[in-house]
Structure 1
Amino acid sequence: MNKKKFSMTMFILTIIFFYLPLVVLVAYSLNGGRGVAWEGFSGKWYEELFLHSERLWTSFRYSIIIALTSAGLSTVIGTLGAIALHWYNFKHKKYLQVISYLPLVLPDIIMGVSLLILFSTVKFKLGLMSIFLAHTTFNIPFVLFIVLSRLHEFDFAVVEAAYDLGATERQALTKVILPTLMPGIVSGFLMAITLSLDDFVITFFVAGPGSSTLPLHIYSMIKFGVSPVINALSVILIAGTVGLALSTKKIQKYMLS
């Protein structure tokens, strides 16, 4: 077997390894039975999902609200922080850069425990707001470094040209810098949404009564056995993710054109 055939074979096996579980998931979401035994095609689990799973949809709504709001705030803070770290010199700049790396390398359980201790110390009530603050905290570094990578390719001569034409610092930021950085900003925003929707460990520590997000709710359901309703919800989330990825790719092509 030559190298080309070997590489193609390994590529196909890798694709099968990654995507076969998704195919099985889709198939079992249409299974008429609850177990692994195939009992014929049925859409009853989708019907139960949409008609008889109010708590599941409530947790899903909480996840979406927290993901969008925390991603929005972390994108604003992370973008402005990236611009400040890249272009401005100020006292303790190196220390701030080092601190920004910490949430990326610290285990989630340490962040979860530390945030829980902080909220308990200041007597902050655990709930949706504590989850929002926690998600914003660990999302900021991801947005910051994504935007920083975009800034490294930025030609500062464009900003200097804007200053020469009479633009103020605020006008240069809003009309030159931010539009140029928009692909990186959008990427950071989407990354923050993904991390927020996916997070379980940190959310587990800072969530209060009645504020379960989707990962927490699914975890509580799995304790009593895997329900095929989860399979149906997973298929819908996969379809939504694929649609979002395709639309985002088109948006980024439009921005870069």
Structure 2
Amino acid sequence: MIGRTLWVEFFNNRDWPAGERGCHRAARRPCPADDAVPKAAGEGSPNRRHIVVRPGFTPVTILALTFGFAFLYLPILLLILFSFNASRLVTVWGGFSLKWYSELLANTQLLDSVWVTLRVGMTSATLALVFGTLAGITLVRFTRFRGRVLFSGMVFAPLVMPEVITGLSLLLLFVSLDWDRGMWTVIIAHTTFATAYVSVVVQSRLLTFDVMLEEAAMDLGATPLKTFFVITLPVIAPALVSGWLLAFTLSLDDLVIASFTTGPGATTLPMRIYSQVRLGVTPEINAISTVLIGLVTLGVITASVLQKRQLARGPAA
């Protein structure tokens, strides 16, 4: 009987701890594995205490998180605070005032740079979304084709390439093609390196996508094109939104590549701020930075709300 029980536990059920306990009980000696198995209330010795480890925040963890968030967000909070400073000195608080925002509306150079930056960011992010999505689908769905390794390396090269090298190589390309540098050369440059980031985001979502959904749709008579727009596209929509926001943020923040590829009338906001900071930080720069932070925050919150609504609507559908 004991041998039959051990055979069932070891070989049929593959329950190695249960088989080990059976061996120790058959030999009439205590089993070390019994202590590792949680027992029900009232079972075993009444004096034995079972230690349950629950995840939580220790003082060291709280201190580390506090320093980490302070290091990341305290400079931004100070920038926002001093944008309402009445004093022209950005290091001396002179009272609350909105005059720098009113003067910002009269600063045509900064406003023109903001408009150029937004146009470059939205256009390059949209183009990067299209190319990055196509590249991600190609690398995930078509795993065997000639030149796949070369294609993958070309897509991901901007991720590891220094921005100085990328900007210089694009500058040499535009000069050799005799292209006049301007806003569109900056858009092409930003699309080039943002496509790699969008491709990574889309690939990470496609790798967890259930392909049987597409197969079921095509078995029911849907064409591949209709399957993509009805099944695949809604599922990967959160990844597309995240990829677009990432590409837009990278374009908004870029200074090095834009410095190589820009031309007359295409000065982006980072370039304008950098040129003015060399002469001293003015409160107007704090004001325009606060406006951009608010716009980016609003966009992130809107995207998060839309994604949560879509996820909540998914199980109900």
TM bin (shorter chain): over 0.9
Please name the residue that 1:153 is paired with: 208
Please name the residue that 2:193 is paired with: 138
Are residues 1:61 and 2:115 paired? yes
Are residues 1:236 and 2:285 paired? no
Are residues 1:99 and 2:154 paired? yes
CA distance in 2, matches of 1:254, 1:117: 46
Please name the residue that 2:278 is paired with: 223
Q: Is the 8 A contact 2:135 2:155 kept in 1?
A: no
Counterpart selection for 1:176 from 216, 231, 234 = 231
Q: Which has the higher helix share?
A: 1
Q: Is the 8 A contact 2:182 2:264 kept in 1?
A: yes
Q: What is the CA distance between 1:248 and its match in structure 2? A: 1.0
Gap runs ≥5 in structure 2: 1-56, 313-317
Q: What is the CA distance between 1:49 and its match in structure 2? A: 0.7
Q: TM-score, normalised by structure 1?
A: 0.95
Please name the residue that 1:72 is paired with: 126
**Amino acid aligned to 1:65:** R
| Secondary structure of the corresponding residue to residue 225 of structure 1 | coil
- Between stretches 199-208 and 80-89, larger displacement belongs to 80-89
**Amino acid aligned to 1:84:** T
Q: What is the CA distance between 1:219 and its match in structure 2? A: 1.2
Q: TM-score, normalised by structure 2?
A: 0.78
Q: What is the CA distance between 1:62 and its match in structure 2? A: 0.7
CA distance in 1, matches of 2:76, 2:154: 38
Counterpart selection for 1:162 from 217, 241, 250 = 217
**Amino acid aligned to 2:84:** L
Please name the residue that 1:112 is paired with: 167
**Amino acid aligned to 2:280:** G
CA distance in 2, matches of 1:183, 1:38: 43
Q: What is the CA distance between 1:120 and its match in structure 2? A: 0.2
Gap runs ≥5 in structure 1: none
Runs (4+) off by over 4 Å = none
**Amino acid aligned to 1:210:** G
- Between stretches 236-245 and 191-200, larger displacement belongs to 236-245
State the superposition RMSD in angstroms. Answer: 1.5
- Between stretches 161-170 and 17-26, larger displacement belongs to 17-26
Q: What is the CA distance between 1:187 and its match in structure 2? A: 0.7
Please name the residue that 2:241 is paired with: 186
Q: Is the 8 A contact 1:182 1:255 kept in 2?
A: no
Are residues 1:212 and 2:267 paired? yes
Query: What is the number of residues matched between the two proteins?
Result: 255
Q: What is the CA distance between 1:173 and its match in structure 2? A: 1.5
Greater relative CO, 1 or 2 (CA 8 Å, sep 6+): 1
CA distance in 1, matches of 2:77, 2:139: 44
C-alpha offsets along residues 32-57 of structure 1, whole Å, 9 cap, x if unaligned?
2222222222221111012x111111
